[in-house]
């Protein structure tokens, strides 16, 4: 087996395993690593296909825990925010926006980890604001996940509801990304062949991830999410700084 294919399958396995355990973050892990191996034009559609498989698998396993009220609010408001994000994409604001996003993630995570009081949202009304900001970030920089994850943690959903609702959201919004990649001709034979090779890898990752997810202490689940968000925030900050150097 070629070294390149081994690297691709290893990255997709690790990303899918994280997604299966926590319900998000596969693209944030896979994109930078795959870009180094196969380039951005091949990495983007391959990651989108992976995310669609991961979202479908998790949703099928936990569909009964889907928070319908929050999901449709998040999806509709995200669609409204995407055009603004696409407009920002034409400007030179990416470094500033990434630093702001990183700062929000870091401060939010540290506050939730260190502060003795627990912040909680009592209703679904704020889903529109979080979804709208997710649409802006998704349209501009393909980072729509963090605001939605922040909303889910503040609503204090159970781990099952967290995973089901997030993946219902990511699946529907991800169809737009898949359609865009297909229209742009990014579904090349190279991408589709690697995707087919990866299908057994996805199945193995979800089998292991499902077992690990069930072993996570429910009372500690939010803490793990905050730690993961903190790591993502630090990663975005360092990536932006070193890119500008």
Q: How confident is the model at residue 135 (pLDDT cuts 50, 70, 90)?
A: confident
- The pLDDT of residue 192 is 95
pTM more than 0.95: no
Strands (E), the chain: none
What is the CA angle 68-222-201, rounded to 5?
Answer: 75
Give the pLDDT score at 48: 86
Residue 90 has pLDDT above 70, yes or no: no
pLDDT at 91: 59
Which residues fall within 8 angstroms of residue 119, CB to CB, at 6 or more apart?
111, 112, 154
Q: What is the rounded average pLDDT of the residues 181-210?
A: 91
**What pLDDT shows up at residue 7?**
94
φ, ψ dihedrals at 122, nearest 5°: -95, -10
The average pLDDT across 79-105 equals: 73
Q: Residue 132 and residue 83: Cα distance in Å, rounded?
A: 10
State pLDDT tens for residues 12-62. 999 999 888 888 878 878 877 888 889 878 888 898 899 889 989 988 887
Number of Cβ within a 10 Å radius of residue 66: 19
**In the chain, % of residues over pLDDT 70:** 89
Say if residue 156's pLDDT is above 80: yes
219 sits in which H/E element: none
pLDDT tens, position by position, 160-178: 888 888 888 888 887 877 8
Q: Which residues contact 208 (CB under 8 A, 6 or more apart)?
A: 17, 20
Mean pLDDT of the chain: 82
CB count in 10 Å sphere of residue 202? 24
Is the model's pLDDT at 130 over the cut of 80? Answer: yes
Count the neighbouring beta carbons within 10 Å of the beta carbon of residue 47.
25
Per-residue pLDDT for 116 more than 60?
no
**Any idea what the Cα angle at residue 43 is, between residues 37 and 46, rounded to 5°?**
125
Tokens 């781990």 locate to: 159
Q: How far is CA 146 from the centre of its chain?
A: 7
Query: Is it the case that residue 185 has pLDDT exceeding 60?
Result: yes
Residue boundaries of the structural domains of the chain? 3-244
Output 236 or 9, whichever has higher pLDDT: 9
């Amino acid at each position: 087996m070629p070294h390149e294919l081994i690297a691709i399958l290893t990255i997709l396995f690790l990303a899918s395993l994280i997604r299966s355990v926590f319900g998000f973050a596969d693209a944030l892990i896979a994109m930078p690593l795959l870009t180094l191996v196969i380039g951005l034009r091949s990495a983007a559609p391959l990651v989108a296909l992976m995310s669609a498989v991961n979202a479908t698998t998790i949703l099928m396993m936990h569909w009964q825990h889907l928070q319908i009220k929050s999901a449709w609010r998040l999806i509709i408001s995200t669609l409204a925010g995407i055009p603004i994000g696409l407009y920002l994409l034409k400007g030179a604001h990416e470094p500033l926006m990434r630093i702001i996003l990183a700062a929000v993630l870091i401060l939010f995570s540290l506050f939730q980890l260190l502060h003795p009081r627990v912040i909680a949202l009592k209703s679904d009304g704020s889903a529109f604001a979080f979804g709208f900001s997710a649409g802006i970030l998704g349209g501009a920089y393909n980072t729509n996940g963090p605001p939605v994850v922040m909303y889910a943690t503040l609503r204090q959903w159970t781990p099952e509801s967290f995973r089901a609702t997030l993946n219902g959201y990511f699946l529907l919004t991800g169809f737009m990304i898949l359609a865009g990649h297909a229209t742009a001709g990014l579904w090349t034979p190279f991408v589709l062949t690697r995707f087919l090779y990866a299908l057994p890898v996805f199945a193995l990752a979800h089998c292991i991830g499902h077992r690990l997810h069930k072993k996570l202490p429910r009372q500690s689940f939010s803490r793990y999410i905050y730690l993961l968000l903190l790591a993502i925030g630090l990663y975005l900050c360092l990536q932006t700084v070193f890119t500008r150097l």
